[in-house]
Amino acid sequence: MKNLNILVLGSGGREHTFCWKLAQSKIKHRLFVAPGNAGTSRLATNLEIGVNDFEALKDAVIQNNIDFVVVGPEDPLVHGIHDFFLNDAQLKKIPVIGPQKWGATLEGSKEFAKAFMSRHNIPTAQYGSFTAETLQEGYEFLEQMNAPYVLKADGLAAGKGVLIIDNLDHAKKELSNMLVHQKFGKASSKVVVEEFLSGIELSCFVLTDGTHYITLPLAKDYKRIGEGDTGLNTGGMGAVSPVPFADEKFVNAIQETIVKPTMEGLKKDKIPYVGFVFIGLIRVGDAPFVIEYNVRMGDPETQVVLPRIKNDLVELLYATAMGKLAEVELIVDPQSATTVVAVSGGYPEAYEKAKRIDGLPSTSSTMVFHAGTTLQQGEIFTNGGRVLAVTSLGDDHKEAVQKSYELMEKISFEGMYFRKDIGFDL
Ligand code: AMP
Ligand code: GLY
């Protein structure tokens, strides 16, 4: 095979993990990442280009002879980066791993996702969808539901667009705030009101080349800032894979009632889709229900899913780009992986940056994945809320997380915080 030039888009722990796994490939390749972080700079050439700067990305793709692009975050997908490539004479033959705008609407619009699930009989919470013009109907819909009330801004709202409210009057007020007073800007000009589902959440990932698909290992993430799942929602404080409570019967139910109809639904609707489908699930009783779709890998779930995949990732993604996923057999490490995320003090609210990070391991055999980090004169400084994630493997999640904590104890920066209970509920 010829030497492959690969461009990864994004700058988080997910993208560092992609680079780490791609870098292990036996296929000759060169890695580029835009914009990347201090961690990716050791494995790839960081390009100072934002993920939504399509014109600058085009120049970089041409200049560096990129063979295919892997898109990390949802934003450029929802904004149509794949379509941009297809509509450009110089870029149209360069595969993009990540769906076109239409498929990305599964994440970009909650209403679109709910209608998709309803059309294909995929188990999910009952819902209604409302605009400022139908506010009154929204109130009536809320009146005939039971508390708690789930209100979701239709569009992307940086993970903040979901409200769960105990009281009916408060729910009505917030519905009006979202629709009439644009609480989440344009994202809440439509609102999905949903039945509340009670259960434990987990994440399922599928990789598709548009025809065939493979289901990747399940994972569970820890979204709240505080121990015991308390406090504000974050981008993710830790993750484990596999998910101990997902037994064979439950895994089969996910495959049969959710993964299959989702992937067949894309085909029936003729929605072209190459890339990752991230299905956010909740177990209600014995049955899986879909909470949401995302059109990318999860962060920090990637930090526990990719280390368990034994396949050569360049081979796997190249097969995806070439429509040859049917020829690939997924090989999964039976060990457990855990990751613990270290954040800046104050996150997810205001926090300070530019704190020097000490104690980072020098060997690349450890899995310390950078997120908000930057390299300055040979030293590494914090540059975001989520700073890094420490992944370990073990015979079970308890052994793995113990190793993650041992490694984490050696790392320090001013204001550093991490949850000390990742996986303890399992
Ligand atoms: P979403 O952005 O749709 O993933 O929602 C964010 C979070 O809100 C989810 O991870 C769940 O914890 C919670 N959530 C969303 N929808 C529901 C629902 N119908 N019932 C219970 N919790 C929900
Ligand atoms: N860990 C959840 C997400 O990536 O959206």
Residue-wise pLDDT for 235-266, tens only, equals 899 999 999 999 999 999 999 999 999 999 99
Indicate if 55 and 137 belong to the same structural domain: no
State in Å: Cα 194 to ligand 1 middle: 9
Best residue for ligand 2 mutational test, from 160, 225, 294, 295 (most atoms within 8 Å of Cβ): 294
Are 272 and 98 spatial neighbours (Cβ–Cβ below 8 Å)? Answer: no
Indicate if 8 and 93 belong to the same structural domain: yes
The reply to whether 405 falls in a domain is no
Ligand 1, atom 6: closest residue by C-alpha = 162
Indicate if 82 and 132 belong to the same structural domain: no
How many CB atoms sit inside 10 A of residue 52's CB? 14
State in Å: Cα 110 to ligand 2 middle: 15
Average pLDDT estimate for 219-224: 96
Indicate if 89 and 151 belong to the same structural domain: no
The reply to whether 289 falls in a domain is no
Residue 2 — very low, low, confident or very high, per pLDDT cuts 50/70/90?
confident
Among 100, 134, 155, the domain-final residue is: 100
Ligand 1, atom 15: closest residue by C-alpha = 291
State in Å: Cα 106 to ligand 2 middle: 15
List, for residues 34-66, the tens digit of each pLDDT value.
999 999 999 999 999 999 999 999 999 999 999
Q: Indicate the helix (H) or strand (E) that contains 15.
A: helix 13-23
Q: What is the DSSP string of 154-189?
A: SS--TT--EEEES-HHHHHHHHHHHHTS-TTGGGGS
Average pLDDT estimate for 226-239: 94
Are 389 and 341 spatial neighbours (Cβ–Cβ below 8 Å)? Answer: yes
The reply to whether 287 falls in a domain is no
Indicate if 33 and 96 belong to the same structural domain: yes
List, for residues 273-299, the tens digit of each pLDDT value.
999 999 999 999 999 999 999 999 999
pLDDT in the model for residue 366: 79
Indicate if 17 and 70 belong to the same structural domain: yes
The reply to whether 345 falls in a domain is no
Question: Residues with beta carbon inside 6 Å of ligand 2?
Answer: 221, 236, 294, 298-299, 301
Which backbone phi and psi does 176 adopt, to 5 degrees? -65, -40
Q: Residue 152: is its pLDDT beyond 90?
A: yes
Percent of the chain scored above 90 by pLDDT? 95
Q: Hey, is 83 helix, strand or coil?
A: helix
Mean pLDDT of the chain, nearest integer: 96
Are 245 and 220 spatial neighbours (Cβ–Cβ below 8 Å)? Answer: no
The residue among 67, 121, 104 whose CA lies nearest residue 273 is: 104
Best residue for ligand 1 mutational test, from 282, 283, 293 (most atoms within 8 Å of Cβ): 282
CB burial class (10 A; 0-12, 13-18, 19+) of residue 65? Answer: exposed
Q: Rounded to whole angstroms, how far apart are CA atoms 423 and 262? A: 29
Indicate if 84 and 133 belong to the same structural domain: no
pLDDT in the model for residue 282: 98
Residue 197 beta carbon below 6 angstroms from any ligand 1 atom: yes
Residue 162 beta carbon below 6 angstroms from any ligand 1 atom: yes
Indicate the pTM of the whole model.
Answer: 0.96
Average pLDDT estimate for 105-111: 97
Provide the CATH number for the domain around residue 45. 3.40.50.20
Among 171, 195, 219, the domain-final residue is: 195
The reply to whether 247 falls in a domain is no
Provide the CATH number for the domain around residue 182. 3.30.1490.20
pLDDT in the model for residue 111: 97
Return the structure tokens found at 373: 């980090």
The reply to whether 355 falls in a domain is no
Number of domains the chain contains: 2
pLDDT in the model for residue 426: 87
The reply to whether 329 falls in a domain is no
pLDDT in the model for residue 365: 67
Q: Rounded to whole angstroms, how far apart are CA atoms 317 and 301? A: 18
Indicate if 55 and 89 belong to the same structural domain: yes
Indicate if 136 and 96 belong to the same structural domain: no
Structural domain that includes position 13: 4-100
Indicate if 139 and 174 belong to the same structural domain: yes
State in Å: Cα 147 to ligand 1 middle: 14
Return the structure tokens found at 168: 């009916």
Indicate if 26 and 85 belong to the same structural domain: yes
The reply to whether 29 falls in a domain is yes
Ligand 2, atom 3: closest residue by C-alpha = 298
Among 153, 168, 195, the domain-final residue is: 195
State in Å: Cα 201 to ligand 2 middle: 12
Q: Rounded to whole angstroms, how far apart are CA atoms 390 and 367? A: 6
State in Å: Cα 7 to ligand 1 middle: 32
State in Å: Cα 234 to ligand 1 middle: 13
Indicate if 15 and 85 belong to the same structural domain: yes
Q: Rounded to whole angstroms, how far apart are CA atoms 96 and 88? A: 13
Residue 26 — very low, low, confident or very high, per pLDDT cuts 50/70/90?
very high
